[in-house]
Structure 1
Amino acid sequence: MIAKSPVPGRVKTRLIPPCTPEQAAALAEAALGDTLAALARVPAGRRLLVLEGGAGAWVPPGWQVLPQSGGGLDARLAAAFAHAARIAPDAPALLVGMDTPQLDAALLAESLSPARRTGVDAWYGPADDGGFWALGLARPTEQLAGRLLLGVPMSTPDTGRALLDRLSGETLTVSRLPRLTDVDDIRDARRVATEAPDSRFAACLRSIETARKVTG
């Protein structure tokens, strides 16, 4: 998982306004908690958190925390796969962001199960905004990650298409994961909270919106 530490003013800034920096950071921490908990229920040999910023009490046991590299997001994603390849050579790796607290652990586990992995070289999780929320490689290497990710324009409506073109260019057999909504702005946040009403994220958003109505 690749993530930012939930520091006010440095995370989820597109939620500001209507949220305050502190509220946006609280939502980010809730999303982190939900996503980490979901991934903990997916069978894995190792769990790596590639983090920008300091780790807090929100990091559950069983996760190895590594610092993010420098550079743009494309370089940081490629470096995360390189980390995974060095730590566990020849093991498949799935990279997930922190913006999908509605992630269904059971569905993801089924998609990645040994029975479903036969003949699959990569996994791709499309996001509604044209990007992607997950990328998996059956045989990750630093070189392959670089060819797939370096230079891909990030955070644009064409990001996912550009990545799919790179995957096709490598002649990789790709398995599609479910389409999900990334939490970028308040409309996304409300939609995701509706999809996952029992999540930490939904509870946090309800608290924030209730407080806004009271003070407003």
Structure 2
Amino acid sequence: MRRILIVIAKSPVPGWVKRRLTPPLDTASAATLHKCFVLDTLDKAAAVPDTELVVAFTPEREIAFFREAAPGAGMFIPWPEADAGSTLASCFQELCGPDRSVVAIGTDAPTMPARSFELAFNALSSGSAEVVFGPASNGGCYLLGTSAHDGSVLGKFNWPAFNPEGEGVELAAGLGIGWYLLPEMLTVDVPSELMQLKKSLFESAGESMWAPRTRLYMECLKDTGAI
């Protein structure tokens, strides 16, 4: 089965990304941390074997950053930030097809282990699940995947805001399709989640290995007293 992995990312523009982390961070530090999230996620995605990497990015003028960050990607798709859900649905409809599994992930879960990609693709290729959800710690969704031929089923989910363990599973059951839930992951968008990230990175070697840039920069923030 053909495997396609979409990474959905914003360019690390100061004052535009991770604004809810300011304070405690200043805009430049928040943007640098976001850049670490993006690069750690792209590195994990690029290392998934037998998988085609697609980068859906915003803003469109920042394509040079993403081409440099993901040189192995086969496709770069610009998307308008204000309509992420519709753009994701369009990506799935374009990329889905017979004998294909398509998985999409954001960049707010930097400590997600690489094995999560394999769990998602394996669930889809087994035939037992037509959709895969990755529930985020904030109640949203950090990963979404499908093996549906036309991808239209994804248009029914308001990614990334919907709750996969509630409305996602309920809607999948109502549609009569199989579903699979990945382990919940920490997503980082507000100060309390930043503190949770700090704790997990400095207390768990297993989690820090999946986010080397993020851990290194968090050490800098810790040393300067920013966190």
TM-score per shorter chain, which class?
Answer: 0.7 to 0.9
The separation in 2 between residues aligned to 1:97 and 1:161, in whole angstroms, is: 20
TM-score (norm 2): 0.80
SS of residue paired to 2:132:
strand
Aligned mate of 1:60, from 56, 65, 70: 70
Q: Structure 1 residues 200 and 70, CA, compared in 2 at 3 Å: closer, same or farther?
A: closer
The separation in 2 between residues aligned to 1:116 and 1:81, in whole angstroms, is: 16
TM-score (norm 1): 0.83
The separation in 1 between residues aligned to 2:123 and 2:24, in whole angstroms, is: 44
The separation in 1 between residues aligned to 2:41 and 2:15, in whole angstroms, is: 21
How big is each residue's C-alpha offset from its partner over 1:106-127, in whole Å with a ceiling of 9 and x where there is no partner?
A: 3432442379623221111111
Q: Structure 1 residues 154 and 137, CA, compared in 2 at 3 Å: closer, same or farther?
A: closer
1:93–1:140 CA contact under 8 A, matched in 2:
no
Q: Structure 1 residues 43 and 108, CA, compared in 2 at 3 Å: closer, same or farther?
A: same
**Match for 1:120: what amino acid?**
A
1:121–1:139 CA contact under 8 A, matched in 2:
yes
Q: Structure 1 residues 159 and 183, CA, compared in 2 at 3 Å: closer, same or farther?
A: same
**Match for 1:84: what amino acid?**
L
**Which residue is 2:224 aligned to?**
211
The separation in 2 between residues aligned to 1:141 and 1:37, in whole angstroms, is: 28
**Match for 1:61: what amino acid?**
P
Higher mean C-alpha deviation, range 126-135 or range 195-204: 195-204
Offset at residue 71 of structure 1 (A)? 4.5
The separation in 1 between residues aligned to 2:81 and 2:24, in whole angstroms, is: 30
**Which residue is 2:111 aligned to?**
102
Does 2:50 match 1:41?
no
Q: Structure 2 regions of 5+ residues with no counterpart?
A: 1-6, 202-206
What RMSD in Å do the two structures reach over aligned CA positions?
Answer: 2.7
How big is each residue's C-alpha offset from its partner over 1:168-196, in whole Å with a ceiling of 9 and x where there is no partner?
A: 22211111111101111132123234243
Q: Structure 1 regions of 5+ residues with no counterpart?
A: none
1:108–1:177 CA contact under 8 A, matched in 2:
no
Offset at residue 62 of structure 1 (A)? 1.0
Q: Structure 1 residues 98 and 107, CA, compared in 2 at 3 Å: closer, same or farther?
A: closer
Give 1:119-198 correspondences, 5 Å limit.
119-146=128-155, 148-149=156-157, 152=158, 155=161, 158=163, 161-193=166-198, 194-195=200-201, 196-198=207-209
**Match for 2:171: what amino acid?**
R
